[in-house]
Amino acid sequence: MEATTLNEAQMSILRLLGAMKTVEEVNELRQVICDYYARRVDDEVDKLWESGQWDNAKNEAILSEHLRTPYNPVR
């Protein structure tokens, strides 16, 4: 079995988790991390919008796009 090597970011998170005493603290950290990534996504979307690579027409196209796989029964 091959050993897994953790990078410095992963080790930092493990050290944080080791200092936590309750599930609530872990949940709070999870929420902070989720909020961080949500802000990053918002920032990237704002950049796309400001550069003109994204607009209302693309929003509407996505809203009306049909992504479900068609059902093809075996005969």
Q: What is the pLDDT of residue 74?
A: 73
* Cβ atoms 46, 52 nearer than 8 A: no
Q: With 0-12 CB in 10 A as exposed, 13-18 as middle and 19+ as buried, what is 60? A: exposed
Start-to-end C-alpha separation, the chain? 45
Which ranges of 1-22 would DSSP assign to H, the alpha helix? 8-19
Asked whether the beta carbons of 29 and 17 are under 8 A apart, the reply is yes
Rounded-to-integer distance, Cα 16 and Cα 74, Å: 52
Is the overall model pTM greater than 0.85, yes or no? no
pLDDT tens profile 8-65? 999 999 998 999 999 999 999 999 999 999 999 999 999 999 999 999 999 899 888 8
Instruction: Give residue limits of the domains in the chain.
Output: 10-64
Q: What is the pLDDT of residue 73?
A: 73
